[in-house]
Chains A and B, each alone.
Chain A
Amino acid sequence: MEAMRKLFGRRPKSSAIAKERLQLVLVHDRGFSPQLLETLKSEIIAVISKYVEVDDNGIEVHITRSERQDRLVANIPVRRTALR
């Protein structure tokens, strides 16, 4: 909501609020709760960290929806010099 306020001035339009609320609730409805995503994220990091050094700050894990399927997108930066 804070981000919305910055983007749209003091009072965000109700359509923007509707869209944001829908996107949040649908993550739950589609079976990917934030808790599940967090668990998934930490386990993915744990596996990858066995082989390369991961940059903890730049990690993004989220679900995107396209026509055919939902997609789990993980963007995990690794340190260049860290190949073990």
Chain B
Amino acid sequence: MARVITITSGKGGVGKTTATANLGTALAMLGQRVVAIDVDIGLRNLDIVMGLENRIVYDLVDVVEGRCRLRQAMIKDKRLPDLYLIPAAQTRDKTAVSPADMVEVCRQLRGEFDFILIDSPAGIEQGFKNAVAGADQVVIITTPEVSAVRDADRIIGLVEAEEKGVPQLVINRLNMALVRRGEMLSVEDVGEILAIPLLGIVPEDDHILISTNRGVPVVLENRSPAGQAFMRIARRLMGEDVPITLPEEPSLLGRLIRWVGRQSSA
């Protein structure tokens, strides 16, 4: 029986879609059967981040409106045999799907998968309600910025109001150099303010942008610090006891080597 995990944030642009793509890919790499569902109707992006944008025939709205079977809307990943995507519709809006529809879609998928990951839209309206309706567990993603943390706090209250239990927190795009200089909220600061259990820390990493450009989730790249962080989070989701550590700040020499590497590969 699958576990349904919704990834949400309140604020847009903090990394929900990147996290969904990478956690889905990481779980599939670890041998899990995974389906990722994009619930951001009208502003779909999980397809392009996973590099599957050219394979879409049917979408989530086609499924709930009965134009196709669930199977037909499931796009198989290019690389991993047990990873699927159900894309959002691009031409409709949030009202095309109801929370009850989402519960039903999840019910039908549960038997065939180990994990169902739901990529939530930003905001607190119906799109968010659709995204959490079928969830067994909610993961809130934030960056160490005042706006993202404030919105995360609001979302935590709403998740609890929907009786989904206490959500878990992922702090994304942490820049250790800035934290050390006292110019970025630290993990402790964010943890103290939001007061929910921490699931993981993902460092700020240029590899994310580069891999997204290519449509290849960064977990497939061994050397990426963000990819390694997502892989550790995936193992935690599977119940492994993986300690949460602060990202290492690259040394001057390390940064220089990476810079030279990038120049020569460009």
Q: Which residues of A contact B (CB under 8 A)?
A: 13-16, 18-19, 21-23, 25-26, 29-30, 65-68
Residue numbers in A under 8 Å from B157 (CB-CB): 30
Say yes or no: B182 contacts A67, CB within 8 Å.
Answer: no
Known: A18-B146, A22-B193, A67-B166. A29 touches B182 (CB 8 A): no
- Is B71 among interface residues, defined by CB-CB distance under 8 A? no
Q: Contacts of B186 on A, CB cut-off 8 Å?
A: 15
B189–A21 contact, CB under 8 A? no
Q: Say yes or no: B185 contacts A15, CB within 8 Å.
A: yes
* Contacts from B to A (Cβ < 8 Å): 145-146, 149-150, 153-154, 157, 166, 179, 181-186, 189, 193, 195-197
CA distance A30 to B69 in the complex (A): 43
Looking at the complex, which one of A15, A16, A21, A26 makes contact with B153 (CB distance below 8 Å)?
Answer: A26
What's the count of A-B pairs with C-beta under 8 Å?
45
CB distance from B78 to the nearest CB of A (A): 40
Task: Apart from A15-B185, A26-B153, list 19 A-B contacts with CB within 8 A.
Answer: A13-B181, A14-B182, A14-B183, A15-B179, A15-B183, A15-B184, A15-B186, A18-B146, A18-B189, A19-B185, A19-B189, A21-B146, A22-B149, A22-B185, A23-B193, A25-B150, A29-B154, A67-B166, A67-B195
The answer for the CA separation of A43 and B166 in the assembled complex, in Å, is 32
Cβ-closest 7 pairs across A and B: A13-B182, A65-B195, A14-B183, A19-B189, A15-B182, A18-B146, A15-B185
Cα separation A30 to B157 with both chains bound (whole Å)? 8
Q: What A residues does B145 contact at CB under 8 A? A: 18
Q: How far is B189's CA from A14's CA once the two chains are assembled, in angstroms?
A: 12
A26: contacting residue among B150, B166, B185, CB under 8 A: B150
Residues of A within 8 A of B195 (CB): 65-67
Which B residues lie within 8 Å of A19 (CB)? 185, 189, 193
Q: Verify B193–A68 contact, CB threshold 8 A.
A: no
Measured CB to CB, the closest approach of chain A to B198, in angstroms, equals 11
Give CA–CA (A23, B195) in the complex, Å.
12
In the complex, which residues of chain A have a beta carbon less than 8 angstroms from the beta carbon of B181? 13
Q: Which chain B residues lie closer than 8 Å to A26 at the CB level? A: 150, 153, 193
Q: Is B153 touching A30 in the complex (CB atoms < 8 A)?
A: yes
Cα–Cα distance between A5 and B236 once the two chains are bound (Å): 41
Q: Which residues of B contact A15 (CB under 8 A)?
A: 179, 182-186, 189
A-B contact pairs, 19 of them (CB 8 A): A13-B183, A14-B183, A15-B182, A15-B185, A16-B182, A18-B185, A18-B189, A19-B185, A19-B189, A19-B193, A21-B146, A22-B150, A22-B185, A23-B193, A26-B153, A29-B154, A65-B193, A67-B166, A67-B196
